[in-house]
A and B are shown apart, each in its own frame.
Chain A
Amino acid sequence: MALDTAAEMVNQARILTQDLVQPYRYSDQEFLDALNTGILESKRIRPDMWPNGLPSDYLAVDTTPITIDPMYRMAFVYYMCGQAQLRDEEETQDTRAVMLLQMFYKQLMGLG
C-alpha cells in the first residue's frame, strides 16, 4: 500500500487502531478531519512541505490523490490514529495517543 489516496490513508489508520469491523468505532469523517488537521499542523512545523500552499481538505474516503510527499505519509497516518485515540474515552488509550502524536512530530522534525 503506497498510501496514494484518501481511502488508503484511512484504511491504514483503521489497521493501526484495529477498527476494521463495522460499525466502526471511529467514523470516516473523524479520520478525514484528523488528516486535514495534520496537514495544517505540518504547515506550521514544516512550511517547506507546502511550497505552493495547502491542499484542499479531504472530504471523502475515495480515490482523491494524497499530495503529501510519500516519505512523510506514514507520519500523517500516525497523526490520524493519535487524534482518534485522543478522543477515546478509555483512559488506557491516552498513552497510546500521546505516543502516536509524538511519532508524527518526531518524523517530521527528526530522523527518528
Chain B
Amino acid sequence: MIEGLQYFIQGLTGFLQPLTLLYVLGATQLGIIVGMLPGLTATMGVALMTTLTFKMETSNAVLILVCMYVGAIYGGSRSAILLNIPGTPANAATAVDGYPLAKQGRAGRAIGIATTGSFIGSAIGMLMLAFFTPILGNFALSFLSYEFTWLAIFGIVICGNLTAPKDPLKGWIAGFAGLFVAMIGMEGIHAYIRFSFGTVAMSGGISLIPAMVGVFGFSEIIAVMKHPKMEVVKTKIERVIPRPREILKYAKTIVRSGIVGTFIGAVPGVGEDIAAWVSYDMAKRTSKDGHKFGTGVVEGLIAAETGNNACVAGAMIPVLALAIPGSAPAAVLLAAMFIHGVRPGPLIMIEFPEFVYQVVAMVLLASTAMLILGLSMVRVLVKVLMVPRTKLMPIIFVLCVIGSFAIQARLFDVGVMVVFGIIGYYMREMEYPVAPLVLGIILGGLLDKSLRRALILSDGNILPFFTRPICAVIAAITILTIVSRMAWFARLVAGLRKGIRTLLGRGKEAT
C-alpha cells in the first residue's frame, strides 16, 4: 500500500511539467470535442490519437490516450443535453433527463451537473483502479491455460449477454464471429497460416485498430448521414458551476453510481453505455422521484454521468491486470500499450508495478482537466455542434483512413476498415451489438493458444476444465449466464421460489 502510494506520487510529480500539462489540457479538450460530435466516438478518438502519438515517449503517449478517453466519454454529454443526440453511446442515458432540462432553460445547470458527476465518477473509479488492479494481477498469477480459456469464453458470453439484453443470442453470435476473425493469419503455436486464401496481405491477419475504426467509425458515419438534421436547443446557457449543496444532496446516488460504473467497466467488453444505463436504472428504482425520471430529474442525469465516467477507470483494471479490455476504447488503449512496449497482464505487478500507479495518476490528471475545461468552455464549444454533417463526415472519414493506415502503412488495413465499417453498419441495422465482435477479435488469440495448450497439458482430458477450482467457478458463472436467459430456467427459478415461500409459510403457521 505504502509502496503503491510512493509510485503514485512519483508518477504524478513526473507529469507536473509545463509541456506535459499542456498535453493533458490539449488531449482532454480534443477528447471533449470528439465526444461531442456525433459520428466520432471515444474509440475512434483513442485510435486516432494512437496514430498521432506513435513516435512519442511511452508514458506521454499513454497519458494523452487516457486524457482523450476520459474527455470523450464526458464530451458526449454536451450533445446529449443540447441535441438529444448522445455524442457517444455512453451518453444515451444522459439525454433522457439532460435534454428535458435543457428544454426547460436549464442547459447550463445540466452541463455543470454532468461535469461534476463525471469528475466524481472518475475519482471513484481511480481509487478502485488503484486498489483492485494489484489484487487482481496477483490473483491472476495463479491462472494457467485452463483458466485463460474459460476467461476468454466468459468474456464473450457476458459481453454478448449485457450488450444485447433483448436478444443475447445475437450478442453471442457477434462474439464468436469476432473470435473467428482472430483465427485469420498465422497461428501462434506452429506458425501455420489460416484462412489467407493464398493472399500475402491476409497472412498477416486482421489488425485490431483498422477493424475497430471501421466498426465504430465508418459505420457511424454511414448511420449519421442517414439521420435527420440536428437542432441545437436555442437556450441561454446560464450558470454552469453547480452549487455544492446540490451535489451533496445526491451523495448516495453518486457513490453508488461510481461503484457500479467501475465494476461494470471491469467486466470484459462491457462498456460505458451499459454502466450509464445500469447506474441510471438503479437510481430510478431507489429514488423517491423515480416516477419523474425522464422529465428533467437531476438525480437521473448525475447517475448516468457518474456511472459512465467511473467505467473508464474500471475498464482499465482488467487491461492492466489481465491484458483483457473492459471496454472498446480500453481495447485500443491495450493495443497502444503493446505498440509502445508495455506488457500489461498478470506479470505487470512484478515487471512494471510503477506503471499501474502512473495510470492512476493519469486518470487523476485527465479528470481534473475535464472538470476545469468542462465548466469553463461551455458557451464557446456549443458552436462546434453547429458544424453541418455534410462537411464534418468526410473529414472524419479521412481521419478513419489515417487511423487505419498509419500503424503498419498498409492500404490493406484501409480495406479492412471499409469492410468492417459496412459489416458494423449492417450489424447495427440487424440489432447485433458490435462490442462482442471487437472483444472476440481481441480474445481470439488468447482462446486459441490457451485451449490448445491446456489440451496438450491434460492430454486431451477435458475434466481439468471443470474440476480446477477457479475454472469451476468461471465455468459455473458462464453456464449460469447462458441458461439465465432461457425460458425454462426462468420457470424453474419461479417454481423454486414459490416452493420456498410455501415451505416458509407452512413453517410460520406451525410455530
A binds B: no
